[in-house]
Amino acid sequence: EARTAIVTGAGNGLGKSYAKALAAAGANVVVNDINEQTAGLTVDEIVADGGHAIACCRDITDHEQAGQIVQAAIDTYADLNIVVNNAGICRDRMFTSLSPDDWDAVVSVHLKGHYCLASHAARLWRAQAKEGQAVSGRIINTSSGAGLLGSIGQSNYSAAKGAILSLTLVQAAELQRYDVTANA
């Protein structure tokens, strides 16, 4: 209760489920999705169920726009406590058929998107800690077994998901001093 969460890819699928579960538990939710219509529908469902949510459809792969998502949480709910990096796409191809554009798109949404949003949140929490404020931040990154074992036809996805696991380990080690946890 009384915590604010950003959930990426929350217009449908797992992201929508995460957003609705957080709202049902009493959190304020910033619903992020590239599709404004589905983000709006998630917000409408949360509000209809008595929760608090807004949509912010900025691009998580753009560092400046990711900062605007964090700012929307602060402007609307006065704080940010939780980042759920869930957004993702697939461009499945066998490695010999994989184009550079398909590689870049998947790595950008999965890995860069996780970095951009968490970067702004972590800087906020570090600043709060340095000002003497109590911080209880949470970063939840979405990975996959494909990141550990690979997956045929998904070299781009597998590489990004493996990198997210490594990113999470570093975030956990570096951010614990600010009372921020990172999990995948």
Catalytic residue among 20, 77, 157, 158: 157
Say whether 161 is catalytic: yes
C-beta atoms surrounding 153 within 10 Å: 14
Which pair of tokens denotes residue 111?
């890995």
What contacts 168, CB < 8 A, 6 or more positions away? 139, 141, 143, 182, 183, 184
The set of residues, in sequence order, having a beta carbon less than 8 Å from that of 154 and lying 6+ positions away, is 90, 92, 146
- Among this protein's residues, is 144 annotated catalytic? yes
Query: Which amino acid, 56?
Result: C
- Pull the structure tokens for residue 161: 């998901």
- Give me the catalytic one of 16, 77, 115, 144: 144
Q: d(Cα 116, Cα 109) in Å, to the nearest integer?
A: 10
Enumerate the active-site residues.
144, 157, 161
